[in-house]
């Protein structure tokens, strides 16, 4: 099955979409990668979903990517004596270390690290930004704040503190258990929440140890201060607009999204735009026009993928949500303005052999009118560097490793395939490229294709070969 588009679709699995039949329907509607949200569900739930996805993969004969999205640390207030309170704008409110139930004047904050970093002028928001406060003063035992936006607040609601870098590890004990479990299943990508600095990725990188790609969720304003370093240290990036939209003023989120996508494009790291893309389709069979425009804007900006969350996990219309997302992408990519915008965003090649070859691949392919760019890859690097160039002809990625093919299913423009043997020489590689391009429906006899690969074969990161081939008549 060949997708007639370049940007990819990611869908979250949940109560509305966990059967093999539904997963097959979602794949047929356009899903390229399934997301398992470890903030919800049990490990048994995720194991069953993993087995179902892999069964669908065998059925359709196409590599399907799986993303394990770790929960990360969650800051929450304690409990109230009556379960909830109503906070009034203009009043003062205290967060303290007293474990007694709270009231309209105070509540326990069971995160001692916060008391050492909050100071006058810092912002605090709760319940996804519905309640907002400004810190008046703080000491090791309490934080005193003025209520800027009041309203009802109940037990254990989440806390966001956008103005400070929190000195806490981003992998909790739950995350470590979930990470090892996800890796034992064989997931292709692992998403890390709450990243603030590039050093936050070190522990997860060491624990993953090459068994999956490391995806950074950019959802903290502090991360934007280290954007280039974080993108370079990641294998891919998610623009997680949920928490980012809570911690940043709404008017700043679109600009932040474009900055992140531009950095990902520059360094050749796959990017996902996520959260509230088709939010109304949780309850309605069609999206709003604004939502359709939001999806389209991400595609025009060159995102590798767009993602559905509750729309496919718990919504009433998961297949319809995937289908409309697929159609929006197709409509954008058929717009004559689209290649102009993608070319206008083209980044200069980075100073490496891989980028030099893949830049030449793009130019040669366009010059000779190649119907497809073929990348023969062991680690996936050649396909990633080719995708960075955003060629207009599709990228047919060939690898002898199923794990590599699955991981590349996320990447813009890449049609990922597996061959059942390693090639031994250039002639065998060219033959495999021509045969696969024909059988996968990319080329007919007489068509030309441009091929990039690395020699010696089987050695990752050695992209150094460019060939032109023709399908024999």
Please give the DSSP secondary-structure letter assigned to residue 449.
E
Tokens of 197: 């600095």
Query: 20, 47, 76, 134: which one is catalytic?
Result: 76
* Rounded Cα–Cα distance for residues 364 and 273 (Å): 31
* Rounded Cα–Cα distance for residues 378 and 421 (Å): 11
**217 catalytically annotated:** yes
Please give the DSSP secondary-structure letter assigned to residue 271.
E
* Rounded Cα–Cα distance for residues 304 and 271 (Å): 5
User: What are the DSSP calls for 29-88, one per residue?
Assistant: HT-SEEEEETTSS-HHHHHHHHHHHHHHHHHHTS--EEEEE------B---BTTSEEEEP
SS3 readout for 272-312: EEECCCCHHHHCCCCCCHHHHHHHHHHHHCCCCEEEECHHH
**76 catalytically annotated:** yes
Strand 213-218, strand 189-192: pairing? parallel
* Rounded Cα–Cα distance for residues 237 and 443 (Å): 32
Query: 5, 8, 35, 241: which one is catalytic?
Result: 35
Tokens of 163: 């103005």
Query: 217, 241, 265, 406: which one is catalytic?
Result: 217
Residue at token pair 């093999």: 20
Query: 216, 275, 377, 436: which one is catalytic?
Result: 275
Please give the DSSP secondary-structure letter assigned to residue 158.
B
Please give the DSSP secondary-structure letter assigned to residue 461.
T
What amino acid positions are annotated as catalytic residues? 35, 76, 217, 275
């Amino acid at each position: 099955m060949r997708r007639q588009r370049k940007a990819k679709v990611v869908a979250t699995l949940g109560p509305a979409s966990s059967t093999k039949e539904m997963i097959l329907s979602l794949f047929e509607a356009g899903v390229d990668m399934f997301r398992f949200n470890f903030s919800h569900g049990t490990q048994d739930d995720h194991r069953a979903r993993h087995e179902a996805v892999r069964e669908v993969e065998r059925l359709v004969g196409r590599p399907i990517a799986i993303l394990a999205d770790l929960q990360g640390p969650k800051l929450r207030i304690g409990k109230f004596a009556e379960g909830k309170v109503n906070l009034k704008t203009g009043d003062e409110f205290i967060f303290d270390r007293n474990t007694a139930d709270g009231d309209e004047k105070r509540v326990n904050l069971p995160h001692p690290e916060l008391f050492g970093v909050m100071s006058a002028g810092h912002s605090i928001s709760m319940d996804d930004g519905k309640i907002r406060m400004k810190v008046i003063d703080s000491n090791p035992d309490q934080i005193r704040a003025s209520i800027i936006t009041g309203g009802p607040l109940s037990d254990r609601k989440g806390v966001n503190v956008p103005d400070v870098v929190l000195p806490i590890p981003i992998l909790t004990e739950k995350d470590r258990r979930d990470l090892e479990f996800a890796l034992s299943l064989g997931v292709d990508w692992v998403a890390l929440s709450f990243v603030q600095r590039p050093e936050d990725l070190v522990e997860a990188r060491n624990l993953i140890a090459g068994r999956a790609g490391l995806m950074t969720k950019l959802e903290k304003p502090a991360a934007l201060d280290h954007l280039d370093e974080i993108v370079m240290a990641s294998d891919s990036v998610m623009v997680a607009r949920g928490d980012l939209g809570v911690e940043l003023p709404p008017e700043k989120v679109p600009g932040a999204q474009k900055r992140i996508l531009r950095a990902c494009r520059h360094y050749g790291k796959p990017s996902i735009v996520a959260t509230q893309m088709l939010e109304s389709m949780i309850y309605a069979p069609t999206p709003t026009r604004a939502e359709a425009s939001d999806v389209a804007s991400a595609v025009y900006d060159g995102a590798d993928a767009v993602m559905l969350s509750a729309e496919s996990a718990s919504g009433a219309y998961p297949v319809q949500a995937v289908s409309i997302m697929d159609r929006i992408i197709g409509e954008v990519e058929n717009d004559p303005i689209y290649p102009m915008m993608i070319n206008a965003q083209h980044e200069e090649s980075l100073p490496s052999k891989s980028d030099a070859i893949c830049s030449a691949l793009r130019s040669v392919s366009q010059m000779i009118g190649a119907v497809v760019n073929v990348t023969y890859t062991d680690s996936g690097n050649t396909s990633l560097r080719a995708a960075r160039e955003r060629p207009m002809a599709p990228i047919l990625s060939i690898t002898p490793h199923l794990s590599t093919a699955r991981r590349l299913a996320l990447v813009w423009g890449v049609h990922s395939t597996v061959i059942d043997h390693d090639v031994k020489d250039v002639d065998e590689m060219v033959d495999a490229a021509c045969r696969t391009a024909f059988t996968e429906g990319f080329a007919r006899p007489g068509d030309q294709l441009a091929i990039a690969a690395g020699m010696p074969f089987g050695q990752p990161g050695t992209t150094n070969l460019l060939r032109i081939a023709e399908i024999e008549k």
